[in-house]
Amino acid sequence: MALDDAALVVIDVQNDFCPGGALEVPDGDAVVPIINRIAPEFSARILAQDWHPPGHLSFASSHAGKAPFETAALPYGEQVLWPDHCVQGTLGAAFHRDLATDGADLVIRKGFRPGIDSYSAFYENDQSTSTGLAGYLRSRGISRLFFAGLAIDFCVAWSAIDGTREGFECAVIEDACRGIDLDGSMDAAWERMAKAHVARVQSCEL
Ligand code: VGL
Ligand code: ZN
């Protein structure tokens, strides 16, 4: 089959990124039926889950005088400050109730270190602390990655770019993603992905 050696990597389809959530992505829940439809086609299915301890350093509430969506200079670089979201064990951190999770081979959690955010499913935002995902995929014989989920301009884009850095052939399934779009972040993300040779495909082309 065409999708041998290929994994679907589903990024952060969690309640807090869906309408009504703490960091809602407009129309975020629209990705769920698309992901459920295509997932069985892949040789491996990976779910990433944003998983922050209370008081995480990426939360604006951890910085006196800062509001959500402002930025702060953290030891590893400039960081957007977010509303509190995906706090470990809360309903907001749970996967969307309609996401088919039983078929997942691996759930990889990220952002659990109190002082480092992790947009990418491969590396935390210091660009050097590994999540271990690349080693897992390589030992499964996977060479191609298809990305779906939330948010295209943050966690999906950084994951796909890091996937190419790890030597995987990477594509983003555009209609299976939605974005936050903060100050032109959508256009910037597509540009960065194009530069990194991340392909842009639609679910009907799989
Ligand atoms: C995300 C901001 C903060 C994402 C996660 O999943 O794109 N964005 N944490
Ligand atoms: Zn987060």
60-72: pLDDT as tens digits? 999 999 999 999 9
Ligand at shortest distance from the CA of 178: 1
Mean pLDDT of 171-193: 97
18-43 pLDDT, tens digit per residue, is: 999 999 999 999 999 999 999 999 99
Q: Could you tell me how far CA 129 lies from the centroid of its own chain?
A: 16
Ramachandran quadrant class, 52 (left: phi over 0; alpha: psi -120 to 50; beta: rest): beta
- Residue % of the chain over a pLDDT of 70: 99
Q: What is the pLDDT of residue 178?
A: 98
Q: Is ligand 1 within 6 A of the CB of residue 95?
A: no
- Rounded to the nearest angstrom, the distance between the alpha carbon of 1 and the centre of ligand 1 is 33
126-164 per-position pLDDT tens digit: 999 999 999 999 999 999 999 999 999 999 999 999 999
Phi and psi at residue 170, in whole multiples of 5°?
A: -120, 140
| 102 catalytic residue (yes or no) | no
Question: How many Å lie between the centroid of ligand 1 and the Cα of residue 151?
Answer: 6
Active site residue 66: no
The ligand placed nearest to the CA atom of residue 152 is: 1
Confidence of residue 3 (pLDDT cuts 50, 70, 90): confident
CA of 46 to the centre of ligand 1 (A): 17
Please provide the size of the chain in residues: 206
User: Largest Cα–Cα distance in the chain?
Assistant: 54
Which among 18, 86, 155, 170 is annotated as catalytic? 155
CATH numbers and ranges of domains, the chain: 6-51+88-200 (3.40.50.850)
pLDDT band at 2, cuts 50/70/90?
low
Residue type, 100: A
Could you tell me the distance, in angstroms and rounded to a whole number, from the CA of residue 119 to the centre of ligand 1? 6
Please name the amino acid found at residue 133.
L
Average pLDDT, the chain: 96
CA 150 vs CA 64, 72, 179: distances in Å:
28, 23, 6
151 lines ligand 1 (CB under 6 A): yes
Q: Among residues 18, 50, 86, 110, which one is catalytic?
A: 110
Q: What's the angle, vertex CA 74, arms to CA 72 and CA 78, rounded to 5? A: 55
Does the structure show a pLDDT above 90 at 4? no
3-state secondary structure of 43: coil
Distance between CA 141 and CA 104 in Å, rounded? 17
